Amino acid sequence: MKKIMILGAGVLQLPAIICAREMGLTVIAVDMDPAAVGFRYADICLPISTIDIPKVVEAAEKYRIDAVITLASDMPMRTVAAVAQKLGLPGIDYETAIKATDKIEMRRCLKAHNVPVPDFYEVDSYESFEHAICNFSSEFIVKPADNSGSKGVYLVKNCFDKAEADNAYYFSKKYSRSGKIIVEEYMKGFEVSVEAFSIGEKVNIIQITDKLTTGAPHFVEMGHSQPTQLPYNRVAQIKKITEDAVTAIGIKDCPSHTEIMITDEGPKIVELGARLGGDCITTHLVPLSTGIDMVKGLIKTALGETPDILPRFSKGSAIRYLHSKRGILRRVDGTEAAMSSKGIKEVQIVKNEGAQIEDISASGDRIGFVISQDNDAAAAVKDCEEAMKKITVVID
């Protein structure tokens, strides 16, 4: 029986763990949280940080794994690349992993290949931060160079407000693993993400997702829907910039998740990951809108096999996250009524009763979501919104 190592055993990685088991593979799950939900389904559970490359490589050698993957998380991609290189397994190379997880290296690479990106500046000290913000005469974004899930993202609305700028600097820096942050132009417009699967060097566009965020200052994603409702000519532009970006980074035989802002100057890359998209986009929405199982495709690719990425149908799918306020979560009422609503496929509450709930400043602050499928994206979004009206979140 072949063995696959899956980096991460949280709720976002759970579909891969279950899928791999259903495919008859022995699953070795790695997560620093000994209570990770995925450990209940894995064959072997290793409480190791997914970014501790030496320890993960050592474990991979010990268990003689046949494949290694992660999904919905950026930083473990470096570990995936290191393990694949050490054991001679299919996977992206380490240089590509760096370009796909370090926002500074990513933007440098894309700019060098004439792929549109926002104006940006590397910051590794307060002094360099002061120099960087002098290049802006209006709003700008501050974010860590090496984190994900909207952690540490801050919009400075008044570039002349030193207190606000300082707050953004220290807020962002505490989320940076390397200590580096990036200061870049604030791109206004409509945001989408593109789910793609490279077979060899050919970039296959699977689906385009319309996104909904909290807006300033942290831009946490609160909803997605598929397929995009943008016009054909804009879709063509999005596909072209995605193909150029994925090729520039060097992604081969691997899925990718590209975030794009449609600005007045045209589409520009927000970020690009050499992985499946998170927030249930590729684990739930893509199968519901196309019939394509990208998780299974990722596993087959990691085993050196050819994934099946042919669409079975064309429908609409959507996810909406519940809004909440700061306080102690007492209970969530109405989930059963929401689940029985038209088009609803899943209702999930990811916080336990008694948990401290914070204002939503990162993806991990969201308390739950609903997922739907309908004839088209607009109908799927409406289904989510109607179901959410039946849910009451009680917070003291």
Find out whether 79 and 56 touch, Cβ atoms under 8 Å.
Answer: yes
Find out whether 343 and 380 touch, Cβ atoms under 8 Å.
Answer: yes
pLDDT of residue 216: 77
Task: Name the CATH architecture for the domain at 3-89.
Answer: 3-Layer(aba) Sandwich (3.40)
Helix (H, G, I), strand (E, B) or coil at 330: strand
Instruction: Write down the domain spans for the chain.
Output: 3-89, 119-185, 188-302, 316-395
| Adjacent-strand bridge partners of 199 | 202
**CA 325 to CA 318: how far, in whole Å?**
23
Sign of the torsion angle spanned by Cα atoms 234, 236, 239, 242: negative
pLDDT of residue 244: 98
Find out whether 304 and 28 touch, Cβ atoms under 8 Å.
Answer: no
Residue type, 102: D
| Adjacent-strand bridge partners of 28 | 5, 44
Residue indicated by tokens 């739950």: 368
Please give the order of strands across the beta sheet that includes 120-123. 120-123, 181-185, 140-144, 154-156
pLDDT of residue 247: 97
Residue among 277, 304, 334 nearest 200 (CA) = 304
CATH code 3.30.470.20 for 188-302: yes
pLDDT digits (tens, 9 = 90+) for 162-195: 999 999 999 999 999 899 999 999 999 999 999 9
Per CATH, the homologous superfamily of domain 119-185 is: ATP-grasp fold, A domain (3.30.1490.20)
Find out whether 29 and 44 touch, Cβ atoms under 8 Å.
Answer: yes
Identical fold between 188-302 and 316-395: yes
The DSSP element (H or E) to which 321 belongs, if any, is strand 316-321
Residue stretches of the chain with pLDDT short of 70: 149
Q: Phi and psi for 28 in degrees, rounded to 5?
A: -110, 110
Q: 164: burial class by Cβ within 10 Å (0-12, 13-18, 19+)?
A: middle
Determine if the pTM surpasses 0.75: yes
pLDDT of residue 73: 82
Residue among 367, 324, 318 nearest 346 (CA) = 318
pLDDT digits (tens, 9 = 90+) for 382-394: 999 999 999 999 9
Helix (H, G, I), strand (E, B) or coil at 87: helix
Per CATH, the homologous superfamily of domain 316-395 is: ATP-grasp fold, B domain (3.30.470.20)
Residue among 287, 291, 198, 208 nearest 247 (CA) = 198
pLDDT of residue 149: 67
The separation between CA 293 and the C-alpha centre of its own chain, rounded to angstroms, equals 17
- Where helices occur in the chain by DSSP H, the ranges are 14-22, 53-63, 76-87, 94-101, 103-112, 126-133, 162-173, 232-249, 286-290, 294-302, 335-339, 377-388
pLDDT digits (tens, 9 = 90+) for 188-234: 999 999 999 999 999 999 999 999 998 877 788 999 999 999 999 99
Residue type, 173: K
Give exposure, 178-205, as e/b (b: 16+ Cβ within 10 Å). eebbbbbbbbeeebbbbbbbbeeeebeb
